[in-house]
């Protein structure tokens, strides 16, 4: 049984967290899936869920008590029935959520779709997509929804809090994961109650050519693949402002929710709200 789940959302840095966690000798990930690669996506995809618990548990290697098993499926965060399903099967598992500025997350998703030659993302600008009206073509509305909906963090987190109690939700600041992963990983071990401490400062380093932190594995440099940490132009100011207004209420409510349960606010949230107040 997994001891914890990394649930996303998509484009928040979940692949980096998944890779960094596996450097720890006592933390072991699920096996890759034939269909969905590093993610099992048991709780979020209906056909997988119907395959049942035994199918799910086959993704996890046999482990002794000194090992903590986990899986990362970034779609768990915002898919409707997942919190309830997770709570039923894994009532004791910790849940790790990574939060970045929702506007940046939206832009990263759009760039991800362009990089995958999605015709809609190639045909329309980011601003066209996020501001498209309800009478727009279906593919535009679908891409708009994939850009904007997951970033309504408070809406999704409320469902998780109801199901799993705030004590078991661990919030990681995605900006800090990007800029100071050693601190994030060192703190996360204590939040997850991992008994053996692994000092990440020996295994993570900033790589100038990648522009992101990479890992040192058996003396060799290992960065995430070219689909993670892509180079693309910065978002234009009009979209930055539009998104800031769009997410204002959601971000204010997120702040309230996090404070209510005693979480430290991510820095991007504090500065976003102070800029717009
Ligand atoms: P971009 O490619 O838009 O920069 P996910 O794994 O959830 O899909 O998230 C991808 C994002 O992780 C990347 O989005 C990047 O900003 C972020 N990231 C954080 N740390 C990273 C790292 N060490 N290497 C590459 N990407 C990292």
Q: pLDDT means per 10 residues in the chain (277 residues)? A: 96 98 97 88 97 96 93 96 96 97 98 98 98 98 98 97 90 98 97 96 97 96 96 97 97 97 95 80
The Å distance, Cα 60 to ligand 1 centre, comes to 25
Q: Is the bond leading into 63 cis (omega within 30 degrees of zero)?
A: no
Structural tokens at position 53: 């618990």
pLDDT at 190: 95
User: Is residue 11 annotated as a catalytic residue, yes or no?
Assistant: yes
User: Could you tell me where the DSSP H helices lie in the chain?
Assistant: 14-21, 46-51, 53-57, 82-89, 102-115, 119-123, 126-131, 138-148, 153-164, 174-179, 181-191, 237-260, 267-276
How remote is the CA of residue 54 from the centroid of ligand 1, in Å? 32
Nearest CA, atom 14, ligand 1:
229
CA–CA gap between residue 199 and residue 201 (Å, rounded): 6
Q: Best of 96, 229, 231, 268 to mutate for ligand 1, by most ligand atoms within 8 A of CB?
A: 229
On whether the CB atoms of residues 276 and 246 are closer than 8 A, the answer is: no
How much distance in Å is there from the Cα of 233 to the middle of ligand 1?
15
What is d(CA 100, CA 103) in angstroms, rounded to the nearest whole number? 8
Spatial separation of the C-alpha atoms in residues 70 and 22, rounded to whole Å: 10
Q: Which of 11, 72, 152, 178 is catalytic?
A: 11
Structure tokens given for 84: 């309830």
pTM of the model: 0.97
Can you tell me which atom of ligand 1 is nearest the CA of 111?
3
Closest ligand 1 atom to residue 14 Cα is 7
CA distance 257 to 267: 15
- Quickly tell me which residue has 């119907």 as its tokens: 50
Which pLDDT value is given to residue 276? 66
Atom of ligand 1 at shortest range from CA of 174:
19
* pLDDT score, position 277: 65
Largest CA distance in the chain: 56
Asked if residues 75 and 6 have their Cβ atoms less than 8 Å apart, the reply is: no
């Amino acid at each position: 049984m997994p001891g914890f789940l990394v649930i996303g959302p998509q484009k928040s840095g979940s692949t980096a967290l998944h890779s960094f966690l596996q450097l720890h000798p006592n933390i072991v990930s699920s096996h890759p899936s034939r269909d969905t690669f590093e993610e099992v996506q048991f709780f979020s995809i209906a056909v997988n869920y119907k395959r049942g618990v035994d199918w799910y548990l086959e993704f996890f290697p046999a482990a002794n008590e000194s090992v903590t098993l986990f899986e990362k499926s970034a779609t768990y965060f915002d898919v409707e029935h997942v919190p309830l399903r997770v709570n039923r099967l894994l009532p004791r598992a910790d849940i790790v959520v990574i939060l970045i500025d929702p506007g940046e997350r939206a832009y990263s998703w759009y760039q991800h779709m362009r990089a995958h030659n999605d015709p809609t993302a190639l045909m329309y600008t980011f601003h066209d997509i996020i501001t498209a009206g309800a009478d727009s073509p279906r593919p535009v509305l679908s891409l708009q929804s994939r850009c904007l909906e997951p970033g309504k963090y408070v809406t999704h987190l409320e469902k998780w809090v109801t199901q799993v109690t705030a004590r078991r939700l661990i919030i990681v600041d995605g900006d800090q994961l990007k800029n100071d992963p050693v601190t994030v990983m060192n703190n996360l071990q204590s939040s997850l109650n991992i008994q053996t401490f692994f000092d990440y400062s020996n295994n993570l380093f900033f790589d100038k050519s990648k522009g992101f932190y990479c890992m040192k594995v058996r003396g060799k440099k290992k960065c995430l693949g070219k689909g993670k940490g892509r180079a693309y132009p910065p978002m234009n100011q009009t979209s930055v402002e539009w998104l800031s207004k769009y997410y204002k209420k959601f971000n204010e409510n997120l702040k309230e929710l996090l404070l209510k349960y005693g979480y430290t606010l991510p820095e991007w949230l504090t500065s976003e709200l102070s800029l717009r107040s």
